[in-house]
Amino acid sequence: MGKITGFIEFERVAESYEAPGTRLKHYKEFVLALDDKQAQVQGARCMDCGIPFCNTGCPVNNIIPDWNDLVYRQQWKQALEVLHSTNNFPEFTGRICPAPCEEACTLNINNDPVGIKSIEHAIIDKGWSEGWVVPQPPLKKTGKKVAVVGSGPAGLAAAQQLGRAGHSVTVFEKSNRIGGLMRYGIPDFKLDKSLIERRVSQMEAEGVEFQASTYVGAAGDATEDGLNVITTAELDQQFDAVIMAGGAEMPRDLPVPGRELSGVHFAMDFLRQQNKRNAGDRIANQISAAGKHVIVIGGGDTGSDCVGTSNRQGAASVTQIELMPRPPEHENKALTWPYWPAKLRTSSSHLEGCERDWAITTKCFKGDKGKLKKLVCTRVEWVKDEATGQMKMQEIEGSEFELKADLVFLAMGFVSPVAAVLDAFGVDKDQRGNVKANVDNYRSSRDKVFAAGDMRRGQSLVVWAIREGRQCARAVDEFLMGTSLLPR
């Protein structure tokens, strides 16, 4: 694959960024993608490793060595066909996937894996620019109707696959625009929303219908005014199959004294407002970080997105704290490869300006006249419980300290889908509050109701959602037709 000696001859070259001083002035994407020649050289680094661990490291099982080789040979259209054979939306994953495939790359044993994500990005962007990405409407219709609840990556992948199989697919989304958490949960500077619009247009040309501003469930459970409501009973009457593909939208809270103070917000409320503002929506009670001291609680991607957004809004300072201990700078390859390792990860948002600290727990929020002023924190250590063998947290005596704060964003992950939606469908739940369904047939406990993505597996990556949507689509196709030609 690639050039036989390419991994010896060529060094890894990553995508570059606009300078922080420039990119902080806007919300547009700032990654400078590889040009054709750079991508060719990076594709040449893909070695004939015998067992391509990158394939299994990738949740959608992208056939990575094949399209690396095709890019090396400058056969771009064929590379796009191979890429699309496993991934409906590589323009999403080529931008926001953390690239577990690169951690699994054989060259990563030497800390210089093939730049798989950057090559994927180059392939799909070239495909769109050359006009190779076109609608693929079915040759004939089956007469079967499928409802997809949720228009995130799982719902979109399932809808596109089923539409191409000939079924009549309708996607329901409670937000005013299609895209789910990709639309309103991921900042524009990481994923330009025109990319979603472009795919929606393609899917509409393939026959998929979209109904935004539509809540599925009991009318009394709709949390926003002006939404259309369709009940689960109506879906049951109108459709031959239903896929529950919503997100894990219930954020983990921090129930400590002072939680009610003005200035303490869930991270997603903050990110959603900024994305809506960028889209031209009018926002009431705008959360603004301008001139404020911001604390982000939680060290994951959502927290990083809050850092980048706060800096673009003109925060006076941004600090991100994390309950877990600081990860090592580099993993022990002998112990972790080819699996996803725990190691320190610094995002582009961190590089724009952020203080980071680890092994900290928040004791309480303090304020004045109802407004947040500071956090009271203490340092913790993690020790092994001799009885259970599990690691447990304990506070370090005398380590209490305060952090100045005008705004706090809770970015500690998501615990489950919205329970009211699951209750409206009457499906069984697993121990974590997700829809109980397996990965063999993705069926819930309700007849003809399926589940995929975060609503089934819990909070996860966009690439995992695409995988689940594709596999669920095959299961639904088999359910409706008795057999399926769709790939798993």
pLDDT digit string, tens, across residues 115-169: 999 999 999 999 999 999 999 999 999 999 999 999 999 999 999 999 999 999 9
Q: For 32-42, write each residue's pLDDT tens digit.
A: 999 999 999 99
Residues in the chain: 488
pLDDT value of position 1: 67
Centre a 10 Å sphere on the Cβ of residue 103 and count the other Cβ atoms it contains.
20
Half-sphere exposure of 301 (CA within 13 A, CB side): 14
**Given this model, what pLDDT does residue 422 score?**
96
Residue 437 confidence (pLDDT)? 97
Q: What does the CA dihedral 451, 457, 459, 463 come to, rounded to 10 degrees?
A: -80
**Among candidates 187, 337, 327, 182, which has minimal Cα distance to 246?**
182
How confident is the prediction for the chain on average, in pLDDT?
96
Q: 429 pairs with which residues across the strands?
A: 435
Taken in order of first residue, the domains within the chain and their CATH numbers are 5-130 (1.10.1060.10), 145-249+414-481 (3.50.50.60), 253-410 (3.50.50.60)
Measured distance CA(414)–CA(210) in Å, rounded: 26
Q: Which residue has 């919503």 as its token pair? A: 246
* All residues at 6 or more sequence positions from 74 whose CB lies less than 8 Å from its CB, including other chains: 36, 40
Which pLDDT score is estimated for 340? 96
| Burial readout 397-411 (b: 16 or more C-beta within 10 A, e: otherwise) | eeeeeebebbbbbbb
- 345 half-sphere exposure, CB direction, 13 A CA radius: 14
- State how far the Cα of 171 lies from the Cα of 9, in Å rounded to an integer: 49
> Running DSSP on this structure, what letter comes out for residue 29?
-
pLDDT digits (tens, 9 = 90+) for 92-122: 999 999 999 999 999 999 889 999 999 999 9
Cα–Cα distance for residue pair 470/452, rounded to 1 Å: 9
Q: What is the pLDDT of residues 356-369, one digit of tens each?
A: 999 999 999 999 99
The predicted-structure confidence for 400-439, as pLDDT tens digits, reads as follows 999 999 999 999 999 999 999 999 999 999 999 999 999 9
Burial 224-248 (b: 16+ CB within 10 A, else e): eeebeebebeebbeebbbbbbbbbb
pLDDT at 223 over 80: no
**What is the pLDDT confidence band of residue 488, given thresholds at 50, 70 and 90?**
confident
